[in-house]
Amino acid sequence: MPSTDKGRPIIVVASGVFDLIHYGHLRYLEEAKKAGGEDSKLVVVVARDSTVKRLKGKKPVIPEDQRRAIVEALKPVDEAILGYEDLNIKEVVRKIKPDIVAVGHDQEFIEDSLKEVASRGEPKFRIVKIREFATSDLNSSSKIKRRIIKEWK
């Protein structure tokens, strides 16, 4: 069982909106879990509705409490929590104390913030970038929403 020098499982953190769960989300979470090893613990931070509205200009289709519950029910996920409304990466890392933080291919803003926090050295964690899984044209929630609108006009 992979563990830290503190005798606990390796903790991996992943984050995202997870509106309209799709194959890309599942693959991202599977790869995040793999980054820590078979017996690692994957904690997923699900973005708050207010954070998504502020960053993307509109609220998600699925409310935050339901998105969190759906994410937590996915096989690779050990725990899902709601994020901070102010998108406080430093506080997430301080609270969870991950060994690894997995970022998606489209999470440059979060990756840059994490690099800044990591450069300070406490707590220590490694950043792992998860590649895109573009197996279809429906590999993002936005594309799914556009397709539904197009098909149902």
Domain for residue 6, yes or no?
no
Domain for residue 1, yes or no?
no
Looking up residue 46, the CATH number of its domain turns out to be 3.40.50.620
> What values do phi and psi take at 77, rounded to 5?
-90, 130
Domain for residue 76, yes or no?
yes
Cα 38 from Cα 45, distance rounded (Å):
20
Torsion of CA 18, 24, 29, 30, to 10 degrees: 160
Structural domain range at position 36: 11-151
Domain for residue 111, yes or no?
yes
Closest CA to 70 of 32, 138, 20, 11: 20
Domain for residue 82, yes or no?
yes
Q: How confident is the prediction along the chain (153 residues), in pLDDT tens digits per residue?
A: 455 556 789 999 999 999 989 888 999 999 999 999 989 999 999 999 999 999 889 999 999 999 999 999 999 999 999 999 887 888 889 899 999 999 988 778 888 888 888 888 778 899 999 987 665 665 666 676 667 667 777
Count: domains in the chain = 1
The pTM score is 0.86
